[in-house]
Amino acid sequence: MTKIIFLSAFAIAFGLLTYSTAFGQKAEVEKRMLEYGIPSDFFVDNLKDENAKYSFSIRKTTETTGQETKVEEGIFDPSKSEGEKWKLLSVNGKAPTKKQIKQFYKEHNTSEDSGAGEPEDDDWRIVEDNDTQLVIEFKYREENLPHKYKFLAQCKGKVFIDKEKKRLDKVDFYNTGTVKIKMFNVDKLDMTMYYKPDEESKTYLLDKETMMFDTHVLGQPVEVKTVSEFYDYQEVK
């Protein structure tokens, strides 16, 4: 009986120590981010459409092995009703077909219960801190990611802060296992979100998102590369 009690006490103590360490790491990360104007809820608000404060335009270029390059032009307006916030304007300079519009809406228009992309409390970690940059690693909670970013549950994220310019530079994602993106089972994924500071609102706006992944179609290797550019931001009153 004494042995059982001892093991239980040890397990509780170890659990409390682990929780305390994770909480302390998260608190330190939040403190360091605030030094560079990055609020603690940045990771949560970063992926969701709900309560967005800006409308913007998007140009997405997709290059796929053996296929014609596709350029999509669209807009995002947070004042629109749920499911109508994103709108496809053109594909390769032409009016989109009904099929293209349907696919675009499926990829971009999220529902109210799509989640907010909150990171795991025990996965905040400072991995590099030198004279020029601060690098923070994190991982999103699987259960509450928006539909279009569900694959990030199988990825680790790294935040890069430029200490010389005193600003957020980019966020990198890389997969830790097989990732499902659309119809593809992805073996290797590299995704980067680049940010620019907005002096008027004292916040960061997404400037560009690049994604490259390797997969197989009918047994043949295929590489897919997308570059999404975000511009013409307008604050919605």
Examine the pLDDT at 141 and tell me if it is beyond 90: no
Write down the pTM of the prediction.
0.81
The SS3 call for residue 147 is helix
Backbone angles phi, psi at 58, to 5 degrees: -135, 140
CB 181 within 8 A of CB 154: no
Locate tokens 């509780």: which residue? 12
Would you state the pLDDT for residue 14?
36
Residues 74-133 pLDDT 10s? 999 989 887 889 999 999 999 999 999 998 988 887 654 455 556 666 678 899 999 999
Q: How many domains does the chain have?
A: 1
CB 161 within 8 A of CB 141: no
Q: What is the mean pLDDT of residues 157-165?
A: 93
Write out the residue range of the structural domain in which residue 34 sits.
Answer: 2-235
Residues 178-232 pLDDT 10s? 888 877 888 889 999 999 988 887 888 999 999 999 988 888 898 999 999 999 9
CB 164 within 8 A of CB 188: no
